[in-house]
Each structure stands twice: as C-alpha cells, then as structure tokens.
Amino acid sequence: MLSGLATSVRWNVVHAVPAGRQQLTSELPNGWSSKGTISAALFAGVARSHARRSAVGASAAASGDTEARSDRPDRPGGLAQFRELQGDGDGWKSKDLKVPVILFPVEELLLPGRRKRMHLFEPRWVSMVEFSLKRCGGIFGMLYFDDGELFPVLSLVEIMACNNLESQGRIVHVRAVGRGRLKGLTEEVISAMDWGLALAEEMPEVFEEDLEEAAAEALQLSNLLEDLDVEATPAEDAKGSEEVPEAEAAEAPQLWTHQRESRSSLGQLSPEKWRKLKTELYEELGGVPMRTSMLSPLTDGMEVRDSLAVLYASLSQVSLRLRKESFVSSEPLAKRLKVMTEKISELQGMARARRALAGVFGNEEK
C-alpha cells in the first residue's frame, strides 16, 4: 500500500491517500469523477493556464539559468516497484493503478518504448514529479485530451532521469512503459493549481496466444515495411512540402515546454531507417516488465519483445488516426500486428493506384 508523500502534500496515513483526495476505487467514491464528466470548457481553461505559463519557462531557459543538477543518482524501481506499492506486496494480481497524471494533447501520444524530455516548471508539476519518484517508483501517467474530450487510454511513463533546476523546475526524461484504460480521476486533474490522480486499468501488451502467433505476424509486417512502396505523386510531394508560415506557427498555443518528436511519414521510410527504428524500440523495451494476460509480466526470455518492437516502431510512422486506433485496442498483439499490416498494405495499394492514375492523365495531356 502506498504510504507517505512528498513534504509539500499533506498525507492521511490511515487511509493512505493525500488529505483532500478521496481514495481511488472502482466504485468512484465522492471526490472522483468518471472520464465522461469532464467538459471541453474546463479543458480550455487548463489550456489557457498552460499557455500563459509556458512563456515563463521559455524565458527562464533563454536566460541561461538552466544549470542542471541531478538530485536522483539512482533511478527508482520503475513499473515493478509501482505495482508492488499498489498491491500490498502482490501488485500483479490487481490491474488497477492509482497514478499521478499530467495533461497533454493527444497529438503528443507517447507509444511504449518511446522517450520524451519535458521541462516542468510549475510548482504543481514539480510536486507531482517528487511524488512519483518517492512513492510510485518513478511512474506517472500522460493523460490526453482529444478535441475537448478525455482520451480513454493513458500512457504509463517511467522517469529515466530528473535534473533539478531549482526555482526553474525540473528537466524530466521519461520512457513510455505501458498503457492504462481510464476508469476515473480526481477533480484536481483539471485544476490549474494542483495535480491529481487517475484510476487506470493496466492493459495487457501480450496474451498467451501471442507466444505462438505474434512472431509470424510481426515478420510479415516488418517485411512489408522494409520493402514499402508508398511513393507520392509529384503533385502530392509539392503539396506535402508546403511549410506553415513563420508568423502563423508563432501564434500556435504552446501548452508545454517539452521535446516534440520529429515524425516522418511512411513515404520517407527506407529499409535502413526501418531496421534502425525497430532495433531502437527493441532495446528500449528491454527489461520493462510489461503487463501480460498471464501470471507474470513480460520478461526478456519471452520471444515477443521483437514483435512488440515491430508494432510500436510501425505505429510511430503512421498517421495519428491509426496510432490512436491501435493504442486503445484491447486485442492480442498478433491481432494488432495483423490489422497494422492490412492498414499499411491498403495505403500502399492506394499510393500505387494514385501513381498509375497520375501517369494515365499525364500521358493524355501530352
């Protein structure tokens, strides 16, 4: 059971929850809200608050007052320790996790095995990071909002490094290590002055049937991506190369001071880049005890890590729509891989058809 808390937050030892926050259970007691009760207007208020504060963090970084001092010589225990803290020593039996969360737009969806660097400068997020390090094994959740609505699945992330910038906040490096289906949250989550908790059901990445079926599906998808043919037509290339005007880009609201991944399209995926991407994901997932449907977490001895790397490496290259669809899926790994193969094969067929049509009309003009 979780006990204690960072000194900046009051703690009720008897109930093992922060004072002022109700204990999170599946029944969602008073003080907790179901995900459907959060309105777009409230999220708009949170966005405005973050937009105002982002300028403060950016100017602090520009002033040179960013000498990083790591006050965490050793990383906390990660996902395995977090489960133990949640389950009175037997955290594997319970899939429900009470996790501190931070809000991001769904465009920042962080897939398992991917990393992100954040500069968290508001006192509430510094407090949340300290709580995560001291009481959650360095685990917290990235909770997403999508067009004013809560996205149903959050990313479970592990703090890999935390640099203390004193009054300028923390530079936090995180890695996504799992997914959680949202079941409830505290009202503090939507506050502009505090941080809150979510109740999330940890989603299995691997099912028992995947031990026999996932490898074949992963090989088929990997071979497809290594020889992918989705070259755009000249007209599409010209359209895709258009840049957002500098003035227009400057007006876009910035919710966070954080690293944004440079995402390329499938059309830019060479065989060498695909192999490198797959290898990087494989290495990142090493040692991560990801949730399975079986009696034990994913270990390096299970021959499915390569299949997981193929899935999430491929997802990092496709559209946001496809990433969202797969991210929320509760299907076995083999099924998710098969669906991704079908989707990308369809995109390849459409690209070839467009090129053929472009050639026909081009010849007619001549």
DSSP for 25-60?
-TT--TTEE-GGG--HHHHHHHHHHHHHHHHHHHHH
Residues 267 and 306 in one domain: yes
Residues 194 and 217 in one domain: no
Of 176, 202, 228, which residue sits at a domain end?
202
Of 137, 172, 202, which residue sits at a domain end?
202
Question: Does residue 183 sit within a domain?
Answer: yes
Question: Does residue 6 sit within a domain?
Answer: no
Which whole-number Å values give the CA distances from 341 to 199, 219, 350, in the listed order?
33, 10, 14
Residues 119 and 224 in one domain: no
Residues 261 and 347 in one domain: yes
Domain span including residue 305: 210-241+248-365
Residues 348 and 282 in one domain: yes
DSSP at 176:
E
Question: Does residue 1 sit within a domain?
Answer: no
Residues 31 and 113 in one domain: yes
Question: Does residue 198 sit within a domain?
Answer: yes
What is the C-alpha to C-alpha distance for residues 73 and 135, in angstroms, rounded to an integer?
A: 17
Look at the alpha carbons of 5, 9, 13, 16 in this order and tell me if their dihedral is positive or negative: negative
What is the C-alpha to C-alpha distance for residues 9 and 198, in angstroms, rounded to an integer?
A: 17
What's the domain count of the chain? 2
Q: Which ranges of the chain does DSSP label H, i.e. alpha helix?
A: 40-62, 78-86, 123-135, 210-226, 234-240, 246-250, 271-284, 305-315, 320-327, 333-365
CATH number at residue 120: 2.30.130.40
Residues 227 and 174 in one domain: no
Residues 171 and 229 in one domain: no
Residues 169 and 289 in one domain: no
Of 174, 202, 230, which residue sits at a domain end?
202
Q: Which ranges of 111-187 does DSSP label H, i.e. alpha helix?
A: 123-135
Question: Does residue 284 sit within a domain?
Answer: yes
What is the C-alpha to C-alpha distance for residues 44 and 117, in angstroms, rounded to an integer?
A: 24
pLDDT score for 170? 85
H/E element, 18: strand 17-18
Residue by residue, pLDDT tens for the chain (366 residues) are 343 333 333 322 222 233 334 343 334 444 555 544 443 334 444 444 444 344 333 333 333 333 334 444 356 688 988 988 886 455 566 778 999 999 999 999 999 999 999 998 888 999 999 999 999 999 999 999 998 899 999 999 999 999 888 778 889 999 999 999 999 989 888 888 899 999 999 999 999 999 999 999 999 999 999 988 877 544 444 444 334 343 333 343 333 455 565 555 787 888 999 999 999 999 999 989 989 998 788 776 667 999 999 999 999 999 999 999 999 999 999 999 999 999 999 988 888 888 888 766 665 555
pTM: 0.75
Buried (b) or exposed (e) across 109-129, using 16+ Cβ within 10 A?
A: bbbbbbbbebbbbbebbbbbb
pLDDT score for 330? 97
Residues 183 and 255 in one domain: no
Tokens of 146: 């999508």
259 three-state secondary structure: coil
* Residues whose CB is less than 8 angstroms from the CB of residue 17 and which lie 6 or more positions away in sequence, other chains included: 2, 11, 23, 24
Tokens of 64: 């040179």
How many residues are listed for the chain in this entry? 366
* Helix then strand then coil, % of the chain, to nearest 5: 45, 20, 35
Question: Does residue 80 sit within a domain?
Answer: yes
Residues 163 and 121 in one domain: yes
Residues 261 and 173 in one domain: no
- Residues facing residue 140 across a β-bridge: 157
Question: Does residue 231 sit within a domain?
Answer: yes
Question: Does residue 33 sit within a domain?
Answer: yes
